[in-house]
Amino acid sequence: MLEKIVGKGNLTQDSEKMIDYGHDEFSLTDIAQMPEIVIKPNKTEEVAEIIRLANNGMIPVTPRGGATGLCGGCVPSFGGMVLSLENMNKILEIDLDNQMAVVEAGVTLLDFYGAVEDAGLFFPPHPGEESAMIGGVIATNAGGSRAVKYGVIRNYVRGLEVVLPSGTIISLAGKLMKSSTGYNLLNLMIGSEGTLGIITKATIQLMPPAQATRSLIIPYDDLDNAIEAVPLLIKRKILPMAVEFVELEVIHITEEFLKKKWPCSQGSTHLLIIVDASSEEELDRLSEVVAEVCMEKGALDVYVADSPEKQKNVLDIRSKIYEAIKAHTIEILDIVVPRAEISKHVRKVHETSQKYGIWLPTFGHAADGNVHTHIMNVRLENGKSSQFRRKNGR
């Protein structure tokens, strides 16, 4: 019956083929769960038929996008069926007049960014992993490093097509800048993690791109000073595209992992501040204010990644930290605190790390208070991570 719905080759019960559908990106296997069948629909109507059939048979259904998450959201905890949206990967329209795109849920961010850029437009949210799919990004209301200036995915979703648990297909809003007709079901679906329905299609707001961007790397000896610089920047009417903080030890490990070079090795905590503007002149002005504020707060120096290659190296190192340390990661804590409280939180993590002799690397988005603390199976030696320190000769 299922083969009749999706066609031969779009479902499997082969245990070897299903292994990859029993886990997400997280490195530990103890949360993995093998499904009983993996099915890959090609269109919304097929999703609806599958859901109705599963309802009749009381079969659990777990929707799956790019599986780039780290908390088991796409793991079929109750067995049953994994419904993978990977075949629904068409960019249906990029509307230049309305600056909107209509896409299927299985379109990857990598493909979407490329198509939008080719059209001369910009999609601001950047959750990090570009193999993530649009449906999953919407279902988790993903944000990423650019959220401080541009917001999260919720700010860009104008319409959805959703299959409800009953198998009913509904369309919510569309190419509209405003819709106030009754309850806001669109926003209810965004961030619902697939529990209220399966997103199959989305209408996404785009915008014109900035003409220029620049990355500044700012080393500090003192974490408090680094974090205190962030609200001061905003008080000076500077809203960066991204503000990241990361400790130097993690940078060194990721440098070694990628065989790439970070611009400086001073201090113990670094800010990565990315600014964008409509002109090089405005970019120079913003960069000067950022440098001035950071030096006022005790920065050791300001390094500018002033070429596309240098910017790419910096962004690659920041985005691949998890890849560099995941082999020794036991658990990842995704924590949000008021941005003024980041340094207090990190100090508490350091105290806990010293008390129990366990390395707890912590980094994240300094401007929106989103902090990533990793619990590792790595001991501390003289305040540093033992295994990594020996491996890298540090």
pLDDT tens profile 211-223: 999 999 999 999 9
CB 2 within 8 A of CB 50: yes
CATH fold for the domain made of 2-84: 3.30.43
The β-bridge partners of 95 are: 100
Residue ranges covered by each domain of the chain: 2-84, 91-205, 212-312, 323-392
**Nearest Cα to Cα of residue 41 among 141, 169, 153:** 169
pLDDT in tens, the chain (394 residues): 899 999 989 999 999 999 999 998 875 556 788 999 999 999 999 999 999 999 999 999 999 999 888 888 899 989 999 999 999 999 999 999 999 999 999 999 999 999 999 999 999 999 888 999 999 999 999 988 999 999 999 999 999 999 999 999 999 999 988 877 789 999 999 999 999 999 999 999 999 999 999 999 999 999 999 999 999 999 999 999 999 999 999 999 999 999 999 999 999 999 999 999 999 999 999 999 999 999 999 999 999 997 888 888 999 999 999 999 988 888 889 999 998 899 899 999 999 999 999 999 999 999 999 999 999 998 877 666 765 554 544 4
pTM as predicted = 0.90
Structure-block tokens of residue 95: 């509307």
**Nearest Cα to Cα of residue 88 among 136, 42, 138, 21:** 42
Distance CA 236, CA 232 (A): 6
CATH architecture group of domain 91-205:
2-Layer Sandwich (3.30)
Q: What residue has token string 């809003």?
A: 173
**Nearest Cα to Cα of residue 134 among 207, 47, 200:** 200
Helix H or strand E segment including 332: strand 329-336
Helix H or strand E segment including 291: helix 280-296
Q: Greatest CA separation found in the chain? A: 69
Return the amino acid letter for 155: N
Q: Going by CATH, does the domain composed of 212-312 fall within 3.30.420.10?
A: no
What spatial distance separates the first Cα and last Cα of the chain, rounded to whole Å?
60
Distance of CA 345 to the CA centre of its chain: 22
**Nearest Cα to Cα of residue 193 among 142, 124, 132, 126:** 142
Summarised one tens digit per residue, pLDDT across range 148-175 is 999 999 999 999 999 999 999 999 999 9
Distance CA 1, CA 67 (A): 27
